[in-house]
C-alpha cells in the first residue's frame, strides 16, 4: 500500500502577487546559475512575488510544473535564442508578405 504525498496549497494566482519577475534564469542552464526553480520559487514566495523562469537551453515548463507542485509561485517560458534553436521568422514573414501582395500593398 502506498501513501499519497501531502498536498500543498496552490500559490496565489499571479494577479495577486505583489510583483512579478518576468525574466529569471535558473539552473541547470548553459551558464552557472545561483538557484533552481524550487529555490527561486521559495525566495519569491517569501516576498509575495511570482517568477517566470528563463533558460538558454529550452523550455522551463517542466521545472515550473515541479515547483508548482510544491505550492511555489513559478511559471515557465521558452527562450527563442540561437543557443535554444533560435527563431525562424520565415513562417511569420511569408503570410504577411503574401497578404500585403493580395491586398495591393506590395
What digits encode the pLDDT tens for the residues 1-58?
Answer: 555 565 666 777 888 899 999 999 999 998 999 999 999 999 999 999 999 999 888 8
- Give the lowest-confidence range in 53-62, 86-95, 97-106: 97-106
Assigned domain for 7 exists: no
- Number of domains within the chain: 1
Assigned domain for 1 exists: no
Q: Which domain holds residue 95?
A: 14-102
Assigned domain for 93 exists: yes
Tell me, what's the pLDDT at 30?
Answer: 87
- Residues 60-66, mean pLDDT to the nearest whole number: 95
Tell me, what's the pLDDT at 69?
Answer: 95
> Is there a contact between 70 and 88 (Cβ–Cβ < 8 Å)?
no
Tell me, what's the pLDDT at 4?
Answer: 57
Assigned domain for 46 exists: yes
Residue 105 pLDDT exceeds 60: no
Assigned domain for 5 exists: no
Assigned domain for 60 exists: yes
Cβ neighbour number for residue 20 with a 10 Å cutoff: 14
Nearest-angstrom CA–CA distance, 9 and 11 = 6
| This prediction's pTM | 0.70
Amino acid at each position: 500500500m502506498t501513501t499519497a504525498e501531502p498536498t500543498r496549497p496552490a500559490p496565489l494566482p499571479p494577479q495577486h502577487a505583489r510583483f512579478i519577475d518576468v525574466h529569471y534564469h535558473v539552473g541547470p542552464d548553459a551558464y552557472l546559475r545561483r538557484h533552481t526553480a524550487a529555490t527561486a520559487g521559495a525566495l519569491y514566495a517569501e516576498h509575495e512575488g511570482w517568477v517566470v523562469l528563463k533558460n538558454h537551453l529550452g523550455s522551463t515548463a517542466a521545472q515550473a510544473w515541479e515547483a508548482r507542485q510544491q505550492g511555489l509561485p513559478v511559471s515557465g517560458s521558452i527562450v527563442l535564442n540561437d543557443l535554444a534553436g533560435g527563431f525562424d521568422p520565415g513562417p511569420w514573414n511569408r503570410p504577411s508578405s503574401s497578404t500585403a501582395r493580395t491586398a495591393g500593398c506590395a
